Amino acid sequence: MDAWNAAASVGDGCTLWFDRLGDLDWRQCCDAHDLAYYQQADKWEADVQLALCVADAGAPIIGIIMFVGVSLFGWIWYRRRQSLR
């Protein structure tokens, strides 16, 4: 299974957040972030990569807001994703 399909199989998009705004779409960033949590990647690195991905999708301010959110509250989902393994 390639990384994109693996991310889609464990990802649910942007949990408690929207996946797009107008023409800007960062759903794939959230799915990759879910996969990183599932694979027990370093949480800090996964959170930084999410912010960078969202910024690359054209929404740098949204990326910063999402980074703050997952930094503060992402531990809940980080532990949950690990328990799914």
CA 68 – CA 60 distance, rounded (Å) = 13
Q: Is the pTM of this model over 0.85?
A: no
Residue 76 within a domain: yes
| Total domain count, the chain | 1
Alpha helix (H) ranges present in the chain?
3-10, 27-38, 43-56, 60-73, 75-83
Write the DSSP symbol of residue 21. E
Stated as kind and residue range, the H or E segment containing 20 is strand 20-21
Helix (H, G, I), strand (E, B) or coil at 14: coil
Angle between helices 27-38 and 75-83 (to 10 degrees): 60
Residue 36 within a domain: no
Residue 12 within a domain: no
Residue 58 within a domain: yes
Per-residue pLDDT tens, the chain, 85 aa: give them. Answer: 455 455 555 677 898 899 999 999 999 999 999 899 888 899 999 999 999 999 999 999 999 999 999 999 988 878 776 666 6
